[in-house]
Chains A and B, each alone.
Chain A
Amino acid sequence: MVQEKRLARAQAIESQPAPRTTLALMTGMLFDVEPRSRLEAWTRTTAGAVWLLLALQFVTGTLLAFYYVPSTESAHTTVAYIEKVLPAGSWLRALHHYGSQWLTLFLVLHLAQLFWRTAYKRRPVAWTACILLLLLVFANGATGYSLPWDARAFFGTRVAEGLAGGLPLAGSLARRWLLGGVEISALTLMRFYAMHLLVVPALILFTTIARLFIFRERETNDAAPDEAEVETTHAQPRNEWRREQATRQFISAGLVFLALAIYATKFYAPLGPSAEAVSPDYLPRPGLQFLWLFQMLKYLPGRPGSVIALGFPGLFFACLLALPLLDSLHKIKLLDHPGRKLGATLLSLSLIFFALMTALAYIGDRRDPRIRAQLSRQADEEKTFRAQPFEPLRLRSGEADDETSPPPTRAAGNGEIANSSSSNSNAPAVAGPIKTSSAPDAYLKNCANCHGTRGQGFSIFPKLTGVSSKPHRTVEDLIAILDDPTAYGLKPPMKSFADKLTPEEKRQISEWVASLKKGKQ
C-alpha cells in the first residue's frame, strides 16, 4: 500500500512540467502548502509584510549610513543634517524609525499566526526563526536607539547600562562590556553602532537564509489532502493557487508599504536637541515597543528590577522556543497537547501584560500634571529644534588652529589680519591670519612650502611638530638631516640643504623645529 502510494507520487512528479525559471522554483519553495480557506490564505500574508519591512529596514538603514557618523561629536549633527537638509532625508529616517516598530508588530502577528496554524509542531524551524527574528529586531531597536545621540538616545543608553549592570554575578562585567569602559563614552556609541549595523543585521540575514534555504522543512501535514492525489487528479491547476497566494502576499506587503510611506510623511522620527544640551529636568520616554519595559522598571527598583525585567521576557521567549520540544513530549504520550496549552496561555498573557503596561505607562504620564507639562515642554523643544536652521559642525582643521586663535569668520571686510605688519616688501613674506610663533626666515624660505608655516605638514610632506620626541631627532640630528637626509633614511622629495643654508641658519631651523610641540605651536 505504502509502496503503491510512493510509486504514484513519483509518477506524478515526473509528469509535472519542470519549473522553467528560478522564480517559479522559488515560488514553489515559498508556497508549499495550499491554504485551506480564504481566511487562512489572507492571514498567512503576515509573512509578506514581515519580508517587506525587513527589506525596507536594510535599504533605509543603508541609505542613512551614507551620512551618519558614529562619534559623540558628530552623530547628532549628521542626523540633524539628514533630517533638515537632505531631500527625502526625514522621510527615509521616519521609514526606518517607524518601520522598526511596525516590524516588531508584524513579527508578533506572524508569530500568533504561526501558532494558530500549530506551526511550532509541524515546522519547528519556521517557528524558531520567527522568535529569533523578533529577538534580533528588539536588539536592533535597542542599539539603534542610541545612535542619534540626542537626550532620548542618551537616556536610552543609560537604561540599557543600568539593566546590564543589575544582572546577577556578572553585572558590572556586562555593563563594562556594553559601554566599552566604565562610563558612557565615544566607545559606547561605536559599540552600539557596530552592533546595529554589522552584528545584528548579519545575524538577521543568517537567520533568514538558514530558515529559507538551509533548514527549510517540507510540510508534512496529516490533515492536508494527499499531495500525490491532488497532483494526479488535476495537475494543471497545481501552480494556480501558488500564484494567487503570491499575489495575496504582494498585495499585503504593498498595503503595508503604502500605509507606512504615508505615515512617515505625516510623522517625523523623533530627534531632540543634542545630548550635550540636556536640561536637568528632562524626562526620558522610550519608543512604543519598549514602553512596557519602562513601566515595569517603575515597579521594580534596584537590582531585582533588572533581573526581572530581563528575566521575564527571557523566560517568555525561552518557553516559546521550547514549544516544539514540549510537543514531542505529546508524541510519546506523556502530556496532552502541552505546547498548545502553554503557548496559548503564554501568548495571551503576554499580550495582556504588554497592553496593560503600555496603557499604564500612558495613563501615568497623562494623569500627573507636572509630567504632562514637562513632556509637552520637551515636545515643544523638539519642535523648536526642528524649526531651527541646520548648524554645520565646525571641524578643527588638523593642527592649523588651536584654542588661542580661532579661525577668522568669513571675510567681513574690515581685515582682521594678524602679522600683517611683518610682511616685508623685500623678501617673500609668509604670514597667515593666524599668529605664528616666530619661525626663522630661513625656514619660511626653504621649508615652509612643504612642511607648512608652522611645521604642520602638507599632503605627503610629514609634519614636524613633536618630531624631537622621536628617536634620533635631536637638534644635532636635525642639522645632520638637513645636510644629508638619505643618511637618516629619508626619501625624496626631501633633499639636502648642505649648500643652500649657512650653518647658522641650519641651527636656527633645527632649534625652532625641535621646539615645536605636538598639537600646539
Chain B
Amino acid sequence: MPRTIETRAPQTETAPANSRRKFLLLLPYAILAGMTATIATAAFRFLRPMSAEAATPGWTDVAPVASITGDKPIMRSILVEHNAGWSSKFEEHLVYVLPQHERQVLTAACPHEGCNVSWREDQNTFACPCHESYFAPDGARINGPARRGLDPLPTREANGVLQVQFRSYENNTAERVVRG
C-alpha cells in the first residue's frame, strides 16, 4: 500500500523500523514473482498441446461389407478428418482390407519409415518400395528393415458398411505404439 512507505528519516533507526524496511526491500521480488507466476500459469495452460484423446479421429467408411470378397487384399483410399486446433482437414490414407482375415484393415504405411506398401500379386506379398521390407498376406513381417508387421486398425460395421478408425503408429519400433 502506498501510504505504508516512509521516506527514510536519517539517524532515527530503531529495531522494528529496520525489520519493516527489510520487508519492504523484499517487496519488489515478491511483486515480480507474483506477476511472473500469474502470467506463467496462464501461458502454460494456453500453450499446453491438446491431448492425444482429443486428436483421435472418428470412424471413416471403408467399403460396403458386401463388396469385400475374394482372396486378395483390397486397397482402398480413405479420407480421414484430422482436427488440429482451429483447423480440420481431410487427408487421404491408403489401407488394405483383408477379406480372408475377418475383414481386417491394415494401414498401408510401412512400419519402417512410413512409405506406402504395395501388394505384389505375383509374389503374394506386400512390398515396401522404399527400403524393401516384405510382409505376408496377413500383414506379418517376412523380412527387411521393418521391425514389425503391418499395423491393423480398429474396425466396426455400421449399417452394412465397414468402418475404420484411422491412426498412425510410431515408426521403427518392435512394439506397436500409437502416435500421440
A and B associate: yes
Taking beta carbons and an 8 Å cutoff, which residues of A are in contact with B?
Answer: 38, 41-42, 52, 56, 59-60, 63, 66-67, 69, 74, 77-78, 80-81, 85-89, 91-92, 234, 237, 240-241, 243-244, 246-251, 253-254, 257, 261, 390, 392-397, 400-401, 407-408, 410-411, 413-417, 420-421, 423, 425-434, 445, 449-450, 452-453, 456, 458-459, 493, 495
Q: Please, which residues of chain A bring their CB within 8 A of the CB of B58?
A: 410-411
Q: Please, which residues of chain B bring their CB within 8 A of the CB of A425?
A: 69-70, 72, 99
B residues 141-179 near A (Cβ < 8 Å) are: 158-161, 163
Roughly how many angstroms separate A427 CA and B71 CA in the complex, as a whole number?
10
Please determine whether A414 and B59 come into contact, CB atoms closer than 8 angstroms.
no
Please determine whether A417 and B87 come into contact, CB atoms closer than 8 angstroms.
no
Please determine whether B63 and A417 come into contact, CB atoms closer than 8 angstroms.
yes
Known A66-B47, A395-B87; 4 more pairs at CB < 8 Å: A88-B43, A253-B31, A428-B75, A493-B130
**In the complex, B123 has a CB within 8 A of chain A:** no
Roughly how many angstroms separate A248 CA and B5 CA in the complex, as a whole number?
8
Please determine whether B91 and A397 come into contact, CB atoms closer than 8 angstroms.
yes
B85, B87, B114, B163: the one within 8 Å of A459 (CB): B114
Nearest-Cβ distance from residue A28 to partner chain B, whole angstroms: 15
**In the complex, B16 has a CB within 8 A of chain A:** no
Known: A88-B46, A450-B129. A244 touches B85 (CB 8 A): no
Q: Please, which residues of chain B bring their CB within 8 A of the CB of A445?
A: 118
A77, A241, A449, A495: the one within 8 Å of B7 (CB): A241
Q: Looking across the interface, which residue of chain B has its beta carbon closest to that of A406?
A: B90
Q: Which 3 A-B pairs have the closest CB atoms?
A: A425-B70, A432-B77, A415-B161
Nearest-Cβ distance from residue B7 to partner chain A, whole angstroms: 5
Please determine whether A81 and B86 come into contact, CB atoms closer than 8 angstroms.
yes
Q: Please, which residues of chain A bring their CB within 8 A of the CB of B67?
A: 420-421, 423
Nearest-Cβ distance from residue B164 to partner chain A, whole angstroms: 9
A249, A427, A430: the one within 8 Å of B72 (CB): A427
A420, A428, A452: the one within 8 Å of B63 (CB): A420
Roughly how many angstroms separate A91 CA and B92 CA in the complex, as a whole number?
37
Q: Please, which residues of chain B bring their CB within 8 A of the CB of A396?
A: 89
B residues 1-31 near A (Cβ < 8 Å) are: 2, 5, 7-8, 10, 24-25, 27-28, 31
Roughly how many angstroms separate A321 CA and B2 CA in the complex, as a whole number?
33
Known: A247-B24, A400-B91. A89 touches B121 (CB 8 A): no
Please determine whether B46 and A63 come into contact, CB atoms closer than 8 angstroms.
yes
Roughly how many angstroms separate A240 CA and B24 CA in the complex, as a whole number?
11
27 A-B pairs within 8 Å (CB atoms) are namely: A52-B35, A56-B39, A80-B86, A87-B45, A88-B43, A92-B43, A241-B7, A247-B25, A249-B28, A250-B31, A253-B31, A257-B35, A390-B86, A392-B85, A394-B87, A395-B88, A397-B90, A397-B92, A408-B79, A415-B160, A423-B63, A425-B70, A428-B72, A428-B74, A429-B76, A449-B118, A458-B116
Contact with A along B35-56 (1 / 0, CB 8 A): 1001101110111100000000
Known: A41-B7, A397-B92. A433 touches B24 (CB 8 A): no
**In the complex, B124 has a CB within 8 A of chain A:** no
Nearest-Cβ distance from residue B175 to partner chain A, whole angstroms: 24
Q: Looking across the interface, which residue of chain B has its beta carbon closest to that of A494?
A: B129
Roughly how many angstroms separate A247 CA and B21 CA in the complex, as a whole number?
11
Q: Interface range on chain B: under 10, 10 to 19, 20 to 34, or 35 or more?
A: 35 or more
**In the complex, B78 has a CB within 8 A of chain A:** yes
Q: Please, which residues of chain B bring their CB within 8 A of the CB of A253?
A: 31, 35
Please determine whether B88 and A237 come into contact, CB atoms closer than 8 angstroms.
no
Please determine whether B38 and A261 come into contact, CB atoms closer than 8 angstroms.
yes
Known: A234-B10, A428-B73. A394 touches B159 (CB 8 A): no
Q: Please, which residues of chain B bring their CB within 8 A of the CB of A240?
A: 8
B24, B35, B79: the one within 8 Å of A254 (CB): B35
Please determine whether B25 and A429 come into contact, CB atoms closer than 8 angstroms.
no
Roughly how many angstroms separate A441 CA and B137 CA in the complex, as a whole number?
21
Please determine whether B87 and A392 come into contact, CB atoms closer than 8 angstroms.
yes
Please determine whether A400 and B70 come into contact, CB atoms closer than 8 angstroms.
no
Please determine whether A459 and B115 come into contact, CB atoms closer than 8 angstroms.
yes
B24, B45, B114: the one within 8 Å of A88 (CB): B45
Please determine whether A411 and B5 come into contact, CB atoms closer than 8 angstroms.
no
Q: Please, which residues of chain B bring their CB within 8 A of the CB of A248?
A: 5
Q: Please, which residues of chain A bring their CB within 8 A of the CB of B46?
A: 63, 66, 86-89, 92
Please determine whether B24 and A244 come into contact, CB atoms closer than 8 angstroms.
yes
Q: Looking across the interface, which residue of chain B has its beta carbon closest to that of A254?
A: B31
Q: Please, which residues of chain B bring their CB within 8 A of the CB of A257?
A: 35, 38
B25, B32, B69, B86: the one within 8 Å of A392 (CB): B86
Known: A408-B61, A410-B59. A38 touches B91 (CB 8 A): no
Roughly how many angstroms separate A248 CA and B38 CA in the complex, as a whole number?
21
Nearest-Cβ distance from residue A393 to partner chain B, whole angstroms: 5
Roughly how many angstroms separate A59 CA and B24 CA in the complex, as a whole number?
27
Please determine whether B121 and A428 come into contact, CB atoms closer than 8 angstroms.
yes
Please determine whether A432 and B59 come into contact, CB atoms closer than 8 angstroms.
no
Roughly how many angstroms separate A426 CA and B41 CA in the complex, as a whole number?
60
Please determine whether A247 and B27 come into contact, CB atoms closer than 8 angstroms.
yes
Nearest-Cβ distance from residue B35 to partner chain A, whole angstroms: 5
Roughly how many angstroms separate A252 CA and B85 CA in the complex, as a whole number?
38
Roughly how many angstroms separate A427 CA and B70 CA in the complex, as a whole number?
9
Nearest-Cβ distance from residue A103 to partner chain B, whole angstroms: 16
Roughly how many angstroms separate A6 CA and B10 CA in the complex, as a whole number?
26
Q: Please, which residues of chain A bring their CB within 8 A of the CB of B41?
A: 88
Known: A88-B42, A250-B27. A430 touches B77 (CB 8 A): yes
Please determine whether B75 and A429 come into contact, CB atoms closer than 8 angstroms.
yes
B25, B59, B76, B94: the one within 8 Å of A449 (CB): B94
